[in-house]
Amino acid sequence: MSAQTPVCQLLERQDGDYRGWLWVAPPRDAWLEQGQGSAVSANHGVLQAWREHGRAACSPFDAGAVGEPPGAVLFWPKAHALGEWWLLWLCANLPSGTRLQLVGENQGGIKRVLKVLAALGLGCRKIDSARRCILFETRLGDVGIDPDAAWATFEAEGLVLATHPGVFGHGKLDAGTKLLLERLEAGLPGPDRARDVLDMGCGDGILAAWLARRGHAVTAVDVNAFAVEATRRTLAANGLEGQAVASDVYSALGDRRFAAIVSNPPFHQERSIDYGPAGRLIREAPAHLQPGGDLWLVANAFLPYPDLLESAFGGFQIVADDRRFRVYHALRR
């Protein structure tokens, strides 16, 4: 199986021995998933793909799961602060002196790695470049910075929210989420009619915490392990109950059904627009709603969700529209 993504095509042409290496934050690529070594990723979908091929894969929040590999490859993310966090995590979790290669696309900011490594006191050399990508190598060391220091909190809607560079809307309340909350205030029953509610794509946990504060039994899911951890921290910081689990849309929920589903679904994957997860959210929502249950969804106004909602539910309402965002409401008959 040949590599499919540019970064993996660059790695594929190396003559180094990657057996037993740790692949960190890897993209979806069959060459990796059917190859050598193990993976650590915050993406639940990536972890599931590796495990389906019988490969070892874990979240960065699975303490001690990575062992002592002979080397590691970090796929540099678009979010610069997240790349720095992965570097700190690797320095804290792998032995000093472990070989580390860093690969990424020029448009994704891989050239900035040089300054980041220099600031941490780590040397670096360029190994190769092709496919508009660059491969660097260094060795890990004790940099004296706890990766947990990347976590912070901020306040919104009377709640304390945990935030991390790997979480959508890092450090601020998204305008679309705010519009959705305004509609939920009037449209979703309060504490006297508490229900089982699913927060799909929970992010920093603002929706989950807001719903839990109103007395609802909340299940929050996200494909991103950073978001799941942020939601857990947000609920704990506010003394609220709720369950947060990693799930690729509904994959971890089985046949569970809810009285309501609320979501501000993502549509970006790195630099690309990807409607896949939101499309699945809408199409499969009726199967995860109780009779009479409803879906509350906020999205950028230009996104093509009306046809999906019409097909899945047979009808829907636009209950708010500020020209940037729309809040959709659909009822399972």
pTM: 0.93
- Evaluate if residue 275 carries a pLDDT over 70: no
The model's confidence at residue 267, banded by pLDDT at 50, 70 and 90, is low
Tens digits of residue pLDDT in 195-215: 899 999 999 999 999 999 999
Structure tokens at 86: 């992965």
Question: What is residue 24's predicted lDDT score, i.e. its pLDDT?
Answer: 98
- Evaluate if residue 12 carries a pLDDT over 90: yes
Kindly list the domain boundaries of the chain, sorted by start residue.
6-147, 151-331
Q: Distance (Å, rounded) from C-alpha 266 to C-alpha 221?
A: 13
To which residue do tokens 């998933």 refer?
33
Tens digits of residue pLDDT in 98-137: 999 999 999 999 999 999 999 999 999 999 999 999 999 9
Q: Which CATH superfamily is domain 151-331 in?
A: Vaccinia Virus protein VP39 (3.40.50.150)
Question: What is residue 191's predicted lDDT score, i.e. its pLDDT?
Answer: 67
**Mean of pLDDT values over 277-305:** 94
Instruction: Report the mean per-residue pLDDT for the chain.
Output: 93
- Measured CA to CA in angstroms, residue 287 lies from 189, 293, 326 at distances of 22, 10, 24
Tens digits of residue pLDDT in 156-204: 999 999 999 999 888 899 999 999 999 999 888 766 677 899 999 999 9
Q: Distance (Å, rounded) from C-alpha 331 to C-alpha 309?
A: 10
Helix or strand run (H / E) with residue 296:
strand 289-300
Tens digits of residue pLDDT in 17-75: 899 999 999 999 999 999 989 999 999 999 999 999 999 999 999 866 788 999 999 99
Residues in the chain: 333
Q: Which CATH superfamily is domain 6-147 in?
A: Vaccinia Virus protein VP39 (3.40.50.150)
Q: Do domains 6-147 and 151-331 have the same CATH topology?
A: yes
Helix or strand run (H / E) with residue 118:
helix 113-119
Q: Distance (Å, rounded) from C-alpha 135 to C-alpha 158?
A: 45
